Amino acid sequence: MKKALLVVSFGTSYHDTREKNIAACERDLAASCPDRTLFRAFTSGMIIRKLQQRDGIHIDTPLQALQKLAEQGYQDVAIQSLHIINGDEYEKIVREVQSMRPRFQRLTLGAPLLSGHGDYVQLMQALRQQMPPLAATERVVFMGHGASHHAFAAYACLDHMDGGAGFSGAGGGGGKLSRSGHRH
């Protein structure tokens, strides 16, 4: 049975960023699944169009990639999203995967990075291990683009947890969210 690994991300139009981040994750995932052929898809139509028009690079959407995999005879497809939260982009992937399920014997979709409480704990521990010690006058700022989706609460959860993760100057989430200009 032909097996594929489809790695899905929002995408980026910056070559160096794509190589250092997306391609690096793809290589690591492919190394952990040596019996699968690696494929890539982006969820951002804007990024896909820009890469096609500017660079002549074609990247499939998740649905296009799944259609091609079915046509090429792949019957076992593992999909891993590089998305951080269970937001609009991830929900779109879920819908597309569900629509294509009948065309495969096995079709699995991995969760985004922050899907449960333990994921937040692990992320904060990993960030703490990577951060250099901070002086009393230094602060760490983590930024997310925000969302109108209910998954936006992930940012408040991270904000709440960062104080216990050893980041000096971390404050409460409620005030930061209300000052962020985000409209509900």
Q: Which long-range contacts (CB under 8 A, 24 or more apart) does 171-180 make?
A: 180/146
Mean of per-residue pLDDT scores for the chain:
86
Lowest mean pLDDT among 21-35, 95-109, 154-168: 154-168
Query: What SS3 class is residue 180?
Result: coil
The catalytic position among 145, 150, 160, 184 is 145
Q: Which fold has domain 2-109?
A: Rossmann fold (3.40.50)
What's the mean pLDDT in 147-174?
59
Contact 168, 134 (CB under 8 A): yes
Alpha-carbon span 109 to 61, nearest angstrom: 15
| pTM attached to this predicted model | 0.82
- pLDDT per residue over 56-115, tens digit each? 999 999 999 999 999 999 999 999 999 988 888 899 999 999 999 999 999 999 999 988
CA R_g for the chain? 19
**Residue ranges per domain, the chain?**
2-109, 117-179
Q: Is 145 a catalytic residue?
A: yes
